[in-house]
Structures are given as structure tokens and as C-alpha cells.
């Protein structure tokens, strides 16, 4: 008698196998085994001639989906069928959310088991949880399956009906989607706000005062009893003070005059207020808050966060990672409180266990928040994890433990000072008791460092005191446009607006970038001109589909279907086939949409037209001799394209590039150009003899108009040899790379040691001494990168090159490493039994495979190359200029 258990992944299968009796066999389905057809070749021959066949959904017969087994899943399905032949019982143990329920249902339909079948669910993979789940198996929840099926059908109808329209009217390969298109519109609207933004300038004064030898800052707030203007007083659309605001806007001249008038005058404390503040810890992680924090703290994309969390869950380190709930079980609360007592002491424990209520309307996925698995929480050090997995587990552990810690008690201190008719304000913060901040500070990497940053210490002051003024500066500021969305802020907005499911946000953000609707600039998502064109078309002809409230209401209806409050079939009929249904709208509107108009992006204050072409966005303008077109460089965003840039691009196209001068040695002309990847300088003309003249990109922050002949010569001479390293004799050079300017030390066989230049360093003038200083600094790893891995076993030196051969533990099991070659241990081979001879044989086989693979890749790439063609809209301010004179220096 044996039981077959089916889960989604091999990792989950390996982990769960440890907690099941010996007569249980665990296999992986590798995700879904059936889905709607993905291409025309997947459509069954029996329905290929039907007009709805491309949709994969029979809209004429109660929206019946046509499910097929993808080619890459046929072998897996056969393996599962073979395994089922020897089983006397089948247990479907896929994830406990809608998606997991749907996978189990599809397995049931495909395998058609003749043995008793059970559905087993759990939200963590621990011995206790698996034993409990085995005793409490149930049947498949048809209502959950129905809800998931309706969602899948709806997404297919929207995507497969609108996408072909975009291909015809704008460009091939574009796509539309129920959540995707709304997300793109959010990015586009923010970029429109940035384009409409008008900068405002204002000045104020900043003082450094001293009381009892303790310095503190103070900022001008009033003059003659009238509030001084700050960034929040400006209208972002005009750059002027908002109408009706009773504030005084200081010019540079007025600020300097005021400063001169206040020098050497008496400062007096006129008021002092201390206000106690209590802060409570944030709730434990849900899917969306984990994505947000991992993006802010670890710089992980939503996709990387979910992949890493999935791996941690499947290995049994955390509970299920797709959840809208902030609820914690009694077991989890007890485990978290135990951690607090052991690590921080009784005084840091909250007086009563904390339980959090889920605010999300549609929260229905898993039963608990994301937390460390088990009835006792392993500390990050105890896990043996490394890299991203350790960083993410550490984040989850800290957040969970912090939620059961005492409140943080702080005192906000505000001091008002007067000097002549000018009012100044100093603000301080004292942390009376850190509480949960000792373990976790939201948005900060290091709680200890964050505590120091949060605390602003003011000296003991009282009304009537006369602090000394050490320095007084006139500060100029400029208002800043609304920040672009990051992955974190986009996820937060989508969730707060009730659009889509948090578990799908990672794939949506990926799709937006894959389809060319957005590109990452640092940590910001910047919409492309294509995004503007597609959003413009959808807003004009299908406004409901990109309206946040309409999409949110659609999500609500889908949740009502899952709970049985709404009927799925009438809803789908009305949405797709009704008088105002999507199919009818597309048929009516298609003839009304002019492709030339659809491919044109209208931008304010721009005489030239921006169009979407086969190879990307380009400018089109009349110049008296006809129409001139010029490609828009990829680094130019819709918000930044202005008449001056258009003029440069068009002049470069008609008159050729701007000539800076000639090379003093060769006499060749030197040009400054703007290319598809940004501005650069070029030496010489393109000719038959010189098909690829030497060129060099401009350093970040250097504008075309700032480039001089001397700078161009320096850039074209890179890399610069600075000299030899005193310890190794190795060559040290300075150059520019894809990640900016750097210095490199050639260490021979040891390889090359790189360091990025700091913001104040200049790649053209950096000295050998400064390069050595940078190279002596420890190399900074990527966010989330772990320390050097410790080998499970050291086999010795390789007989050919005497380089070490070691065995390490990896995400897919133990592997042998030699130099840059890694090879997994064969199935059934233990770490202890592996010999040097066997390792050398494995490495040799891998090396030969790599060489042959590299040859085939070169051949393929050669063939291919021949055929191929911030988080909110609030205004912040930054320092513009500083006119500073220290009274002490005077």
C-alpha cells in the first residue's frame, strides 16, 4: 500500500518528503499541467475553425475554456500517470490559495485517478504542520476553483481582444491587460505630472547656533510675523506661490540682505515645547508589504523577492508567501515573544500579545501573515542561509519579532527663537525608550544606525536663553517634480486602489518592462513613449479599462464570485457580450482608430511630433525642405524631451554632428553626438576604411553643451594608466564603464580588482595616490549578498593547476567548485563519499560541455546578428546654491 503525493516543485517535494511516512511517494507537477492555448499551434484541431478559437474560450457556449497540456508538460503528466499506477491513494498537496486549488483541480481532471483522492493544505512546511495537514485532508473547493477560472478567463478576454488591436494600430508585439494597462497608466500619469511641472525657487536662512558648547541647527520660518515660503507653498503647474497663500517669498538679494542685518545680533529662545510620541510596530508581512520593504531595503525587484520567498517557503524556513492576511497564530505569537525575551529582555516585550486586523477588503488567500516557520523561530544565523535568502529571511524574522515588542517612546522637541524681526525654529527628537525599534526600523537597513539617525539631540534650553550664532547661511532651493514610481510605491498604490492581486504584481511589473512600456532608471520605473501612445489610445476609446475605480470594482466582483455572492456567468456575458461589452466596443471602435494618430504622442510645448515606429520612438518635423525624422535616444524620457533637445537631434540629422575641433596629433575631427544610449564623443568620420571610429560616452551628469575639446581628448584617451601598484607592480588604470567611472588594479593571475570612483572624483584627473586609496577600501557587495561561502568539504588542489577543489551547498543541493566551474554532485552521491578523482572527472566533463556550448552559441549569435535590426507626488526641495560666511572665520 502506497500513497502518491503531488506538489508543485522539486524543492517543495524534497522538503515535504522528510516529514512523511516511508510509504509516501512525493512528485512535482512543475506548476500548472494545463492552461488555455498560448499560441495558434496549441489550439485543438477540432475547434481551430471557430471564430473564438484564438481566445481559447468558447464565448458562444457559456464561456467554456479550452484547456490543453503544453508540450513541455506532456512528459511530466506521463510521469505522474505512471507513478499513480502503483499508488493506492492520491494526495494533492499544492499551495493553499486559489492558484494552488486550481492546480489540484487540473491534476484531478488530467490524471482521472481511480483511487481515493484527498486535498491536503498547509501554510508552512514543518513536521508538525505536515502531520496536522495529513489528519485534516478535505476535498477540492470547487468555489475557489471557479473564482480562479473566472479570473483567468476574464484576463484572457481582455488581453486577447485588445492586444491584436494594438498590433494593428501602434506596433506588433504590444499587449494590453486588465491590471497591466491600469499600472502603465499610473506610470504615464505621473510622467505627465512631471512634464507639466514648473520649477519654483525660494531662499531662506540656516543658522548653526551654540548653547553650552553644543551646536544645533535652526531654520528661518518667519520675517516680521509673516511665514516664509517653502516648497509646499508652490503650485507645481505654474512654479508660482499657490493663490491665497499668505507667505513671503524671499529672493536671493533679500535673503543675503537679511543675513547681513542679523549678523552679530542677539538670539533669544521665545518658546519651547516637548511633546511625547508613542509609535507602534508595523504589522507582520503580507505579500505586498514584503515586496515593498525588500525593494526599499534590499533593492530586490518584486520578481526576485517572490522567487526568494518561494524558495524559503519550499525549504521550510517561512510560512506561505502569498497572503493578504496580517493575522498570526497563537503558536507564532508565542514564538515571537520568546525571541524578544531571549534576545532583548523582558522590558522590550509588549505587555499583551499583539494581534493585527487585516484591512484589505479582498483578503482571502492564506490564513496567516508571512513569518518564520515552526513553533520556535530559528534566528537568521541558525539557518545557515546565505545571500538573498539570508537577507530576506532576516527581514521577515525581524519584522515578525518586532510586532510583539513594546512601543517606542519618543519626545518631539520644538524650539522657537527670535533675532530682530526674524523667527527661527529648531526641531529635536529624543528616544526615551526604543522598544521595537531596537529590532526593526521600517525602510532602514540597520536598526542601530537608524536609531542614531532618528535622534536629533538639542542642548538643554529654556525660554530666555541667548545661544551664540556660529554660522549663518543664505540657502537657495528649487522645488522638485513628483517622484516617479518605484516598484515599491507602485505595488503600494495598486494594493491601496484595490487593483489586481498582490501575488500577481511581480509578473505584472515584469511584463510592463518586457513589453517596452517602462524601463528602470536607478530604482524608478520610467514610462516610455510607447506607454504614452498605448495609454492615450485606451483612454480615448476604452476609458473604463484603464480607470482605477472601474478596475477596482471588477476585482471586487471577482472576490464576490469566489465567496458565492455573485454569479460568474452573467457577469462574463455582460462584460464581454453585452451591448456595451468589450467585443462590441472593439468592433465599433476599430474603424474609428487612425493608426497614424494612434502612433503619435502629443506632448505639451513641443512643435515637433513624436511617433512610434518599427525601431522605437522618433521625432518628425518640417524644416522647409520637407519632413525630417530623428530617433529619440533611449535615455531621453517623455518628461525631459524639450524643444532644445529636439533642435539638437534634428540638426545632428540634417547638418551632421557638432565639431569640437581636431585631434592635435592626428588632425582628425572630434564630434559630440547624441546616440540611442546617450551623449558621446567620436574621433574621426565614418568611412569604408574606418567603419567604427573610436568613441567614448560622456560621464553621468555632463551635458553636451558642457563638453570641451580638452575633455573630449581625455575621454577618448581612456583608459588612463596611472602607474604601478607599489606592492604587486601591477598596472593601475582609470576608465569609464557601464556602471560609471572606475579604477582597476591588474593583479595578473589573481585577476583584476575594481573600485568605483566617488562623486567628487574625476576620471580624467584622478591621481595614482587617490586610486591606491580607493583600492585599499574594502569592496562593497551588492545588497543582500552574503559573505564568502564556507566549503562543506575541501578536497584539495586540482592536479592540473593546483587551484582548490571544494564542495559547497547551493540552492539545488551540494556542488563541486573549481575556479569558475561548478558542477552538481550526481544523484545519490554524498558529500562524504566524493573523491578528488571523481570530482576532476565531473569538472572535466562540464568543461568540455561548456566549450562545445560556447562554440554553438558563437555560431548562433553570429547568425542572429546578421538578421536582427518616488514614492509620492509630494514636492521635495533640494539645495540650489549656498552663500555662506562663518562669523567665526570672519
Active site amino acids: 320
For residue 415, what are the β-bridge partners?
A: 272, 426
Distance CA 451, CA 436 (A): 11
Is there a contact between 162 and 176 (Cβ–Cβ < 8 Å)? yes
Are the CB atoms for 618 and 631 separated by under 8 Å? yes
**Cβ contact 284:369 at 8 Å:** yes
List the helix and strand counts (H, then E) for the chain. 24, 32
How far apart CA 521 and CA 271 sit, in angstroms, is 46
How many other C-beta atoms are found inside a 10 Å radius of the C-beta of residue 22?
Answer: 7
In angstroms, rounded to a whole number, what is the distance separating the alpha carbons of residues 377 and 371? Answer: 9
Residue 677 grid coordinates:
544610449
Distance of CA 273 to the CA centre of its chain: 41
Angstrom distance (rounded) from CA 480 to CA 230: 12
Pair 350, 407: CB distance under 8 Å = yes
411 with 355: CB under 8 angstroms? no
Contact call for residues 89 and 18 (beta carbons, < 8 A): no
| Neighbour count for residue 493 (Cβ, 10 Å) | 17
Place of cell 561561502: 789
Q: What are phi and psi of 64, to 5 degrees?
A: -70, 120
Q: Using CB atoms within 10 A of its CB, is residue 470 exposed (0-12), middle (13-18) or buried (19+)? A: middle
CA distance 200 to 184: 29
* Beta-carbon contacts of residue 857 (< 8 Å; ≥ 6 apart): none
Total residue count of the chain as it appears in this document = 890
| Residues 486 and 521: beta-carbon distance below 8 Å | no
* 8 Å CB contact between 107 and 95: no
Report DSSP letters for 74-129, one per residue: HHHHHHHHHHHHT-SEEEE---SSHHHHHHHHHHHHHH--SS-EEE---SS-SHHH
Are the C-beta atoms of 16 and 5 separated by less than 8 Å?
yes
Instruction: Give dist(CA 306, CA 64) in Å, integer.
Output: 32
Find residue 58's DSSP bridge partners.
Answer: 64
d(CA 678, CA 713): 18
Query: Residue 220 corresponds to which cell in the numbers above?
Result: 528661518
Backbone phi and psi for residue 132, each to the nearest 5 degrees, phi listed first: -65, -40
Q: Compute the CA torsion angle 696, 700, 701, 703 (nearest 10 deg).
A: 20
d(CA 508, CA 183): 8
Strand, coil or helix: 592: coil
Residues whose CB is less than 8 angstroms from the CB of residue 420 and which lie 6 or more positions away in sequence, other chains included: 261, 262, 265
Amino acid at each position: 500500500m502506497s500513497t502518491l503525493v503531488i506538489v508543485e516543485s522539486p524543492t517543495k517535494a524534497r522538503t515535504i518528503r522528510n516529514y512523511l511516512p516511508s510509504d509516501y511517494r512525493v512528485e512535482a507537477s512543475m506548476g500548472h499541467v494545463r492552461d488555455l492555448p498560448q499560441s495558434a499551434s496549441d489550439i485543438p484541431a477540432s475547434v481551430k475553425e471557430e471564430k473564438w478559437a484564438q481566445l481559447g474560450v468558447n464565448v458562444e457556449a457559456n464561456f467554456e475554456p479550452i484547456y490543453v497540456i503544453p508540450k513541455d508538460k506532456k512528459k511530466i503528466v506521463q510521469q505522474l500517470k505512471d507513478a499513480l499506477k502503483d499508488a493506492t491513494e492520491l494526495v494533492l498537496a499544492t499551495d493553499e490559495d486559489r492558484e494552488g486549488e486550481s492546480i489540484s483541480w487540473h491534476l484531478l481532471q488530467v490524471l482521472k485517478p481511480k483511487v481515493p483522492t484527498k486535498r491536503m493544505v498547509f501554510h508552512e512546511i514543518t513536521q508538525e504542520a505536515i502531520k496536522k495537514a495529513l489528519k485534516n485532508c478535505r476535498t477540492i473547493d470547487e468555489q475557489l476553483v471557479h473564482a480562479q477560472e473566472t479570473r483567468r478567463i476574464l484576463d484572457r478576454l481582455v488581453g486577447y481582444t485588445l492586444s491584436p488591436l494594438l498590433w494593428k494600430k501602434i506596433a506588433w508585439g504590444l499587449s494590453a491587460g486588465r491590471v497591466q494597462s491600469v499600472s502603465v497608466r499610473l506610470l504615464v500619469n505621473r510622467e505627465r505630472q512631471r512634464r507639466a511641472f514648473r520649477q519654483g525657487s525660494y531662499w531662506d536662512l540656516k543658522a548653526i547656533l551654540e548653547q553650552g558648547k553644543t551646536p544645533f541647527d535652526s531654520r528661518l520660518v518667519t520675517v516680521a510675523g509673516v511665514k516664509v515660503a517653502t516648497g509646499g507653498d508652490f503650485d507645481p503647474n505654474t512654479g508660482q506661490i499657490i493663490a491665497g497663500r499668505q507667505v513671503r517669498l524671499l529672493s536671493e538679494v533679500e535673503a543675503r540682505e537679511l543675513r547681513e542685518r542679523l549678523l552679530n545680533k542677539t538670539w533669544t529662545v521665545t518658546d519651547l515645547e516637548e511633546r511625547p510620541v508613542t509609535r507602534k510596530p508595523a504589522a507582520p508581512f503580507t505579500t505586498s508589504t514584503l515586496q515593498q520593504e525588500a525593494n526599499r531595503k534590499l533593492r530586490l525587484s518584486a520578481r526576485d523577492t517572490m522567487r526568494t520567498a518561494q524558495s524559503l517557503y519550499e525549504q521550510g524556513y517561512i510560512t506561505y508567501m502569498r497572503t493578504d492576511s496580517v493575522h498570526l497564530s497563537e503558536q507564532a505569537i508565542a514564538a515571537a515573544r520568546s525571541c524578544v525575551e531571549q534576545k532583548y529582555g523582558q522590558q522590550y516585550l509588549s505587555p499583551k500579545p499583539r494581534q493585527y486586523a487585516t484591512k484589505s477588503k479582498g483578503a482571502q488567500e492564506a490564513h496567516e501573515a508571512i513569518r518564520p516557520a515552526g513553533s520556535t523561530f530559528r534566528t537568521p544565523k541558525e539557518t545557515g542561509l546565505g545571500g538573498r535568502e539570508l537577507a530576506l529571511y532576516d527581514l521577515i524574522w525581524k519584522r515578525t519579532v518586532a510586532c510583539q515588542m513594546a512601543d517606542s517612546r519618543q519626545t518631539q522637541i520644538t524650539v522657537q527663537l527670535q533675532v530682530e524681526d526674524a523667527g527661527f525654529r529648531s526641531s529635536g527628537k529624543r528616544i526615551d525608550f526604543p522598544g521595537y525599534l531596537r529590532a526593526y526600523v521600517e525602510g532602514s537597513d540597520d536598526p542601530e544606525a537608524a536609531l542614531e539617525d532618528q535622534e536629533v539631540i538639542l542642548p538643554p534650553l529654556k525660554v530666555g536663553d541667548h545661544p551664540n550664532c556660529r554660522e549663518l547661511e543664505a540657502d537657495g532651493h528649487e522645488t522638485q517634480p513628483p517622484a516617479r514610481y518605484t516598484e515599491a510605491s507602485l505595488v503600494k498604490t495598486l494594493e491601496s486602489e484595490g487593483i489586481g492581486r498582490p501575488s500577481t504584481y511581480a509578473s505584472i511589473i515584469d511584463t510592463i518592462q518586457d513589453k517596452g512600456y517602462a524601463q528602470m532608471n536607478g530604482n524608478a520605473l520610467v514610462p516610455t513613449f510607447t506607454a504614452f501612445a498605448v495609454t492615450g489610445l485606451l483612454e480615448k476609446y476604452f476609458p473604463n479599462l484603464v480607470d482605477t475605480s472601474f478596475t477596482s470594482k471588477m476585482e471586487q466582483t471577482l472576490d464576490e464570485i469566489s465567496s458565492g455572492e455573485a454569479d460568474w456567468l452573467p457577469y462574463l456575458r455582460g462584460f464581454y457580450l453585452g451591448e456595451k461589452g468589450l467585443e462590441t466596443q472593439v468592433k465599433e471602435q476599430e474603424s474609428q482608430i487612425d493608426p497614424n494618430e494612434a502612433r503619435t504622442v502629443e506632448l505639451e510645448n513641443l512643435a515637433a511630433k513624436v511617433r512610434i515606429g518599427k525601431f522605437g520612438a522618433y521625432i518628425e518635423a518640417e524644416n522647409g525642405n520637407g519632413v525630417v525624422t530623428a530617433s529619440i535616444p533611449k535615455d531621453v524620457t517623455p518628461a525631459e524631451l524639450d524643444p532644445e533637445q529636439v533642435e539638437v537631434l534634428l540638426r545632428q540629422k540634417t547638418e551632421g554632428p557638432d565639431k569640437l575641433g581636431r585631434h592635435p596629433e592626428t588632425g582628425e575631427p572630434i564630434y559630440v553626438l547624441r546616440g540611442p544610449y546617450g551623449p558621446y564623443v567620436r574621433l574621426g568620420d565614418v568611412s569604408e576604411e574606418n567603419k567604427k571610429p573610436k568613441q567614448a560616452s560622456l560621464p553621468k551628469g555632463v551635458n553636451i553643451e558642457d563638453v570641451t575639446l580638452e575633455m573630449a581628448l581625455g575621454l577618448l584617451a581612456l583608459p588612463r594608466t596611472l602607474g604601478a601598484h607599489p606592492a604587486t607592480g601591477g598596472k593601475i588604470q582609470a576608465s569609464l564603464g557601464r556602471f560609471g567611472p572606475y579604477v582597476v588594479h591588474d593583479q595578473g593571475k589573481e585577476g583584476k580588482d575594481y573600485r568605483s570612483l566617488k562623486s567628487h572624483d574625476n576620471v580624467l584627473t584622478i591621481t595614482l595616490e587617490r586610486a591606491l586609496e580607493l583600492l585599499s577600501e574594502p569592496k562593497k557587495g551588492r545588497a543582500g549578498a552574503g559573505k564568502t561561502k564556507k566549503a562543506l568539504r575541501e578536497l584539495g588542489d586540482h592536479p592540473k593547476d593546483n587551484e582548490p577543489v571544494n564542495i559547497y551547498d547551493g540552492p539545488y543541493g551540494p556542488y563541486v567548485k573549481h575556479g569558475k566551474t561548478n558542477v552538481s554532485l550526481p544523484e545519490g552521491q554524498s558529500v562524504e563519499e566524493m573523491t578528488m578523482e571523481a570530482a576532476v572527472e565531473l569538472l572535466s566533463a562540464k568543461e568540455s560541455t561548456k566549450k562545445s556550448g560556447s562554440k554553438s552559441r558563437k555560431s548562433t549569435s553570429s547568425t542572429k546578428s546578421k538578421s536582427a535590426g518616488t514614492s509620492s507626488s509630494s514636492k521635495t526641495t533640494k539645495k540650489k546654491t549656498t552663500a555662506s560666511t562663518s562669523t567665526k572665520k570672519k
